Structure 1
Amino acid sequence: MSENETVREETAADAPEVAEHDRMTALEFELAEARQAVLYAQAETQNVRRRLEKDAQDARAYAATSFARDMLSVSDNLERALQAIPADLREDDRFRNLVVGLEATGRELASVFERHGIVRISALGEKLDPNRHQAMVELPTGDAEPGTIVQEMQAGFMIKDRLLRPALVAVARAAEEVQA
């Protein structure tokens, strides 16, 4: 037998082992791909679960947002009504109980707001924050630094960490800008 024939016999004999090895390599590759796909699917499932939990938590926390906005107008009207009562009527015995009742209603409404995470935004004397305040007018003044809130026209409110309604404010402007 020649040397070439010996090589052919060995190669032919090894062929099933090579084919088996290639098949095993392909199966191992497919298994690795399947494992990776399972890991990605598990990660995606976990992300979806977290997102749904956060959405549900936000829905619970902010479910009353629309109702709270509507109640702010009630609070504003009650506050305006109390401010409109002249001092002499506040002292009149006939109106004293009415005034006391309105003030108690205002305190109870504020307490309910607080229990539900609705808080008034501080504005007067603060620097204008466009995320919490809405500047309606600039007033010339030498008493306050430009950009400082000098008047609150309507109170602003937050619900938890979100803006419910911006405070409507007047902002200080340097006095010399008026004369120019």
Structure 2
Amino acid sequence: MSNKEKEVQAPDDVQTDMPVEEAAELTLEEKYSQALAAVEELRKDNLRVLADGENFKKRLLREKEEFFKFATSAILEETIPVIDNLDLALAHGRQTEACKDLVTGVEMTMNIFLDTMKKHGLEQIAAVDVPFDPALHEALSQIERDDLEENTVCQMLQKGYMLKDRLLRPAKVMVSRKAGA
């Protein structure tokens, strides 16, 4: 093939009236622009992947905290009847003089037990002389009381318990009302 034939067989995308060096230079500039665009796209993809990883890590930490926060929930919930039974035993034991030493021992055991439960987040709900709160209290009846504000808890029938900020059992209470209301 002669030199003239080589010049005639120019690439289709290059204009034939331009010198060969200019066409090659334009192609290099285009390739450079494409490479820069690809690098920028990869950089954005990398940032998205890093952000997704950080969000995943934060979500796992939140889930782990929630798990540990309420991991003991079932056990603590099952101890509530034990506390109720100890309260009943103390109430009945206090009525008999012969059980005085036994009552003292049960009271000490009960206090240690309640302190241990408190360390794990179990709290008794304040239920007497506080305003009635349907989120914490279950009203079983009303009593006419002029010495208290309307809808004040005046008697607790069964203790209520919370685990941190979650209600395990509402306090069963009697609520005051004004006479004639």
Contact 2:94 2:100 in 1 (8 A): no
The secondary structure found in structure 1 opposite 2:126 is coil
Aligned-partner Cα distance in 2 for 1:101–1:30: 77
Change (3 A) 1:163 1:13: same
Aligned-partner Cα distance in 2 for 1:124–1:35: 63
Count residues in correspondence: 167
The residue aligned with 1:79 is 87
Aligned-partner Cα distance in 1 for 2:23–2:138: 81
Contact 2:156 2:174 in 1 (8 A): yes
The residue aligned with 1:165 is 169
Between Structure 1 and Structure 2, the one with more helix by share is 1
Aligned-partner Cα distance in 1 for 2:26–2:179: 92
1:10 offset after TM fit, Å? 4.4
Unaligned runs of 5+ in 1: 1-6
The percent of aligned pairs where both chains have the same amino acid is 29
The residue type equivalent to 1:118 in the other structure is: L
The residue aligned with 1:49 is 57
The 5 A counterparts of 1:26-175 are 26-85=34-93, 87=95, 89=96, 91-92=97-98, 95-175=99-179
Aligned-partner Cα distance in 1 for 2:40–2:139: 60
Deviates more, 1:156-165 or 1:73-82: 156-165
The TM-score normalised by the length of structure 2 is: 0.76
Question: Structure 1, residues 95-126: CA drift from partner, whole Å, max 9, x if none?
Answer: 22222222222112112112222221212111
> Which portions of structure 1, spanning 4 or more consecutive aligned residues, are displaced by more than 6 angstroms?
none
Q: State the superposition RMSD in angstroms.
A: 2.6
Aligned-partner Cα distance in 2 for 1:34–1:130: 56
The TM-score normalised by the length of structure 1 is: 0.77
Aligned-partner Cα distance in 1 for 2:45–2:133: 48
Aligned-partner Cα distance in 2 for 1:20–1:169: 84
Higher CA-based Rg: 2
1:153 offset after TM fit, Å? 1.8
The residue type equivalent to 2:112 in the other structure is: E
